Structure 1
Amino acid sequence: MSTTEIFLLAMLLIFVAPYLVWRLGKTDYFAPLVIVQIIMGIILGPGVLGATMPDYYKFLFNPDVVKTLNGIAQWGVMLFVMLAGIELDLKTVWQYRRESVTTAGLSLGVPLLFGCAAALLLMNYQGWMGAKAANWQFMLGTGMACAVTALPVLVLLLEKLDILRQPMGQRILRYASLDDVAIWGVLALIMLDWERVGRQAGFLVAFATLTFVFRRLMARLDESDRWYVAVIWLIACSFGADWAGLHFMVGAFLAGVVMDAEWFGQEKLDALFKNVLLVLMPVFFLSTGLRTKWDLGGYSVFFVAGLLLFASVGGKLAGAHLAGKVLNWKKGEASIIGWLLQSKGLIEIVFANILLDKQIITNETFTALLLMAAGSTMLTIPIVHPKLNRAQNRGLVGQASS
């Protein structure tokens, strides 16, 4: 077969397998399609398909096909991260700044500490810390991976629970938005390369200067032109950040965070987001799955995934309950908010990919983080749904935040 034919067979597998599992298995309650795609990406990787059907795996995912898939995956994740940046509503966060800062700080800080403690334990064993990682980078990177909240997946979960437009849902989005900013700030710190610090400073100065020009230009353009200029801006920012040593996804997020959703229309942005998830992100999940490894043994990877899951869930719940005591939340609020904020999904995978690219974590740690992200998100709906029903019976969810 030609490379094109093998590529199309790979694409067929990428789109057919998750869809059939999701639709025929009726997994939507505990595993939305996006989570099934993440899990199938792992299954189609070297740890499962490569181990059980090595000849077929080598035939289907040969180097030429993998290069093509990686190119599509990089473009898809750039668009996804840009849209995540656009979705941040920092104006509303500022309006409720005391509540938002307190909750976001505790719900990020506590799981960060739990994750750092887990990383400290892993540092005593070989095979988990990346070849180019300093101890503090591995600890902070792993800790932040446990603290991540997947904002785009959170929106999908809130829609599924029918509270996205209710006061409770809007509050949770504010907390997650502030955490998102902190996550990318910490990532930039982890990526800081003292040999390239001049480049990085130059990029940030150039970005700040060009942002002023870009925003003024966008305000004057017609909507049809804004979409095209936004794509050019995305590519330029991603290139600049990667050239500076920060990573192209950091640039993609920065490109989005300085854009206003009003420039494009919320309905059109939502449609683009759904189309990116449908058309491009499954390829990213597969290319992510191809990077998983089980060389240290499956049991070890599952043990570490469980440890990280405990740090993530336990830390988020502890942080939310602390915030509830400080802010005098009603009974049951802290548990609902904590469980929703601990969902991981896509941003966790993006974050882990960057840590792996920079050799801060190994493929085995990367695999454990993917398993943790899938498990974290799959727990959310089954646990939150009955809690929400009880809260709605008390009239809790429909009430505005104090």
Structure 2
Amino acid sequence: MAAAAAPDPLTPLLVAVPVVILACRAGAQLLRRLGQPPVVGEILVGILLGPSLLGWLWPAAQTWLFPAAALPYIGVLGNIGLLVFMFLVGLELDLTSLRGNSRTAVAVSQAGIALPLVLGTLLALGMYGDFAPEGTKKLPFVLFIAVSMSITAFPVLARILTDRGLYRTKVGALAMAAAAVDDVSAWCLLAVVVAVTKSNSPMDALTTAGYAVAFAAVMFFVVRPLLARWAARAERRHSDGVVLVVLFSGLSVAAYATDRIGVHALFGAFLFGVVTPRGSRRVEATAARMRAFAVPVLLPLFFVSTGLKTDVGLLGGGVAQWLWTAAVLVVAVVGKFGGGALAARLSGRGWRDSLSLGALMNCRGLTELIVLNIGLGLGVIGPGLFTVLVLMALLTTAMTTPALTRFRKGIDEEQERAQDQEANGIGQDEPALGATAGR
């Protein structure tokens, strides 16, 4: 008897994709009207379409909307969107904001990493017995939890500052500089965690790290100047379509290289964005085209993939689960909020500015979800802890705007911006922040 043909995934995809896109769009718009970053609505919609709500209330509807045959393709499309997103984050990462702010920015960012690392390590040591998947070694588990506590969402932070009119103030410039340093540091630490997790011995981990350093060196000292010369020629000789093909192919090759090295494909896409030249009209136009499709169309599929792995019902086993969830949230807030605010205060900033910086550094957004999906894919964390950490990412992102409103209350933002620009010479045009910055 001939084997039954595998079901065609195209038909369910034609239903699931528009439903996910429209639902995430509606959630983003609703939460933005409530004063929240759009990513809060997108994360929430992803969770609600998963087993936490739809699968609990109407399992048949969730199975029909997301049949098993379509799930791998939804994940692949979401991951392609994620690669483009990471390329755009790298492209928009502006280290020139460190000028005049380097000392305080480095202090705030490093304190906002060091304290969460310490507190996260202590937390992970306590959670290991109950939450580590069977066969997971203690070192990768502890390192991953520690790093996951230290994440700041650079794009979401930029969007919040822009929406509040604080992007070009002293506090805004300092927050962006600190977040940029934090972003680079956190991705480097995560690369180490991935290398340790995938390696069978310390020598394997060192070898992977060596390859990663060599790859970064090639990107900065070989690929970057080549791209700069090519971008200059592209202004005169190439159409936007050619530039699109080159940039997408480049980020794909870079992602493939880092995946083969053993530090995850996302690092390659991010690094390719960092070395891609700024200031080119062709490059900027092409990046805008990539953003216009990948962010609103493909990224929602990543949110729903995350939501399908998130099951709040796994926390219903007893009071202990919720106590651990509360402990994770407290450690996350104390580490990032407290570390950033204390460092800013010790650097000479006033309490209001220090608390504002702490609130901004505590914002995690999509960046945290990316990290958590890497950990789940590696088997370092299980579905239960994944759910706990997703809820932590959602809550810490949601509390950023209300906290900032409270700490900036009574300040005339136009007056503050004018005074800061006059005192610090911050008068350049605000960079164009597309949909990438909302996540």
Residues of 2 paired with 1:292 and 1:200: CA distance? 31
* AA of the residue aligned to 1:399: D
Distance 1:297 1:101 in 2: 38
1:219 lines up with 2:240 in the alignment: no
Which residue number in structure 1 is paired with residue 266 of structure 2?
249
1:190 is the counterpart of 2:193:
yes
The correspondence of residues 283-362 of structure 1 with structure 2, limited to 5 A, is: 283-294=301-312, 296-298=314-316, 302-362=322-382
Aligned counterpart for 1:8 among listed residues 14, 39, 44 = 14
1:48 to 39, 48, 53: 53
Partner of 2:122: 117
Q: Is this contact kept in 1: 2:21–2:296, CA < 8 A?
A: no
Q: Say which SS state the counterpart of residue 183 (structure 2) adopts.
A: helix
1:66 aligns with 2:83: no
CA RMSD of aligned residues (A): 2.7
1:117, distance to aligned residue in structure 2 (A): 2.3
- 8 A contact 2:16–2:65 mirrored in 1: yes
Native 8 Å contact 2:91 2:274 kept in 1: yes
CA distance in 1, matches of 2:85, 2:63: 29
Distance verdict in 2 for CA 1:187–1:131, change over 3 Å: farther
| Aligned 8 A contact 1:203 1:240 in 2 | no
User: 1:81, 1:378 → 2: CA distance?
Assistant: 22
Q: Residue in 1 aligned with 2:164?
A: 161
Stretch of structure 1 that moved more, 194-203 or 256-265: 194-203
For structure 2, list consecutive stretches of 5 or more residues without a partner in the other structure: 1-6, 425-439
Identity of aligned residues (%): 26
**Does the aligned pair in 1 maintain the 2:31–2:40 contact within 8 Å?**
no
| Distance (Å, rounded) in 2 between the aligned partners of 1:170 and 1:94 | 9
Aligned CA distance change for structure 1 residues 162 and 130 (closer, same or farther; 3 Å): farther
Query: C-alpha distance in 1, partners of 2:245/2:333?
Result: 40
Assess if the C-alpha contact under 8 Å between 1:82 and 1:253 holds in 2.
yes
Relative to structure 2, which stretch is displaced further, 280-289 or 109-118?
109-118
Residue identity matched to 2:84: L
Give ranges in structure 1 of 5+ residues lacking alignment.
none
- TM, length-normalised to structure 2: 0.82
Contact 2:121 2:145 in 1 (8 A): yes
Query: AA paired with 2:43?
Result: I
Larger displacement relative to structure 2 (172-181 or 13-22) = 13-22
Which of 240, 258, 261 lines up with 2:278 in the alignment? Answer: 261
Q: Answer whether contact 1:316 1:341 (CA < 8 A) is retained.
A: yes
How far off its partner does 1:268 sit?
A: 6.2
Give 3-state SS (helix, strand or coil) of 2:408's partner: helix
* Counterpart residue number, 2:152: 149
Give the partner amino acid of 1:387: F
The CA deviation string for residues 161-208 of structure 1, in whole angstroms up to 9 with x for no partner, is 111122221110100000011101111111114345446634542453
TM-score for both structures, normalised by structure 1: 0.89
* One-letter amino acid of the structure 2 residue matched with residue 16 of structure 1: L
Counterpart CA distance in 1 for 2:179 and 2:120 is 18
Matches within 5 A, 1:12-51: 12-23=18-29, 25=30, 28-51=33-56
Matched, 1:277 2:283: no
Q: Which amino acid aligns with 2:124?
A: A
Distance 1:309 1:281 in 2: 26
Deviates more, 1:311-320 or 1:363-372: 311-320
| Alignment partner, residue 420 of structure 2 | 399
1:109-142 C-alpha deviation (Å, 9 max, x unpaired): 1122222222222124x2x223453222222211
Mapped partners of 2:414, 2:354: distance in 1 = 15
- Counterpart-to-counterpart distance in 2, 1:200 and 1:321: 32
> Which amino acid is the alignment partner of residue 298 of structure 2?
L
* Local SS of the residue matching 1:254: helix
User: Offset of 1:22 from its aligned partner?
Assistant: 4.8
